[in-house]
């Protein structure tokens, strides 16, 4: 009971923290308790013993998440976007894929970084090398990064906190880049993945996960007939109406 009370207090504190960054995207990231709702899932998670090196990495992710969460100026998230942080984080996600707590913190950081004002042009500096302050969204969220993000979503479909951040991240970068949007649909089968996540959380999913999933699907299907066809083939129309 004491542990549950501590967890509840932490969730409450997280929910009460707001910044200008989050007010821009309140429809996806809201003040709600994002604790995992399935007891069996919690029991499986507790069986994993985190190594000392993993603990250090997870705490580093949390520090970056705290810095970017409260970054109303946008300075920190811009720096983290251009210095290869996303590539480093996803590399660690792949290395420690069984560490669910680390995956949660990683997705938080990536979600906050997705708020950066990315450059849509192909800026080229000396010797065909992009300038140091250049943040191209397609380069940052490349196929390797997207593969790890999608894999992690599938690995932990009932983790409400992770899914909330993951779906919100994909929605944000897909909104900012048509190339990423098409890539997610045609190469990563993201429509099918999101529908499967909704199905697996049919009775237990919290409202914000449902909202984030539906917002992502709504964006993907806008002006893209292939995405709509994929929903029909998966009988997703009935599922979405029920949500």
pLDDT given at position 224: 87
Residue pLDDT, tens place only, 171-191: 999 999 999 999 999 999 999
Partner residues linked to 136 by β-bridges: 119
Residue pLDDT, tens place only, 82-98: 999 999 999 999 999 99
Euclidean distance between CA atoms 12 and 68, whole angstroms:
19
3-class secondary-structure state, position 82: helix
* Mean pLDDT of the 98-118 span: 94
**The dihedral of CA 19, 21, 25, 28: what is its sign?**
negative
Share of the chain above pLDDT 70, in %: 67
pLDDT given at position 146: 97
Residue 172 CA to chain centroid, in angstroms? Answer: 9
pLDDT band for 193, please (50, 70, 90 cuts): very high
List helix spans (H) across the chain: 2-16, 20-23, 39-46, 52-69, 75-82, 85-95, 100-113, 137-140, 143-155, 160-176, 178-186, 190-200, 207-221, 225-233, 236-242
pLDDT given at position 26: 35
Most confident among 6-10, 168-172, 219-223, 237-241 (mean pLDDT)? 168-172
Name the CA dihedral angle for 108, 111, 113, 116, rounded to a multiple of 10 degrees. -150
62's CB contacts (< 8 A; 6+ apart) are 105
Euclidean distance between CA atoms 164 and 25, whole angstroms:
13
pLDDT band for 134, please (50, 70, 90 cuts): low
pLDDT given at position 38: 34
Euclidean distance between CA atoms 182 and 126, whole angstroms:
31
CB 208 within 8 A of CB 149: no
Phi, psi for 121 (deg, rounded to 5): -90, 165
pLDDT given at position 71: 87
CB 171 within 8 A of CB 209: no
* Mean pLDDT of the 138-154 span: 95
DSSP 6-54: HHHHHHHHHHH---HHHHTTTTTS-S-------HHHHHHHHTPPPPHHH
Q: Which is nearest to 69 in space by CA: 13, 109, 12?
A: 109
Euclidean distance between CA atoms 30 and 49, whole angstroms:
31
Partner residues linked to 119 by β-bridges: 136
């Amino acid at each position: 009971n004491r542990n549950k009370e501590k967890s509840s207090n932490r969730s409450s504190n997280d929910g009460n923290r707001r910044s200008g960054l989050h007010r821009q995207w309140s429809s996806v990231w809201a003040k709600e308790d994002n604790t995992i709702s399935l007891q069996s899932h919690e029991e499986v998670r507790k069986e994993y013993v985190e190594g000392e090196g993993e603990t250090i990495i997870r705490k580093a992710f949390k520090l970056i998440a705290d810095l970017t969460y409260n970054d109303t100026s946008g300075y920190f998230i811009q720096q983290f976007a251009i210095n290869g942080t996303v590539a480093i984080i996803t590399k660690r996600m792949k290395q420690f894929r069984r560490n669910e707590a680390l995956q949660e913190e990683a997705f938080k950081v990536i979600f906050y970084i997705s708020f950066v004002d990315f450059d849509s042009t192909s800026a080229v500096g000396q010797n065909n090398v992009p300038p140091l302050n250049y943040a191209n969204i397609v380069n940052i969220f490349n196929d390797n990064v997207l593969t790890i993000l999608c894999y992690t979503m599938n690995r932990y479909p009932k983790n409400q906190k992770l899914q909330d951040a993951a779906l919100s991240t994909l929605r944000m970068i897909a909104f900012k880049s048509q190339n990423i949007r098409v890539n997610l649909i045609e190469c990563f089968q993201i429509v099918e993945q999101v529908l499967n996540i909704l199905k697996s959380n049919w009775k237990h999913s919290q409202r914000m996960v449902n909202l984030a999933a539906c917002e992502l699907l709504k964006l993907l299907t806008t002006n893209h007939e292939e995405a709509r066809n994929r929903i029909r083939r998966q009988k997703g129309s009935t599922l979405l109406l029920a949500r």
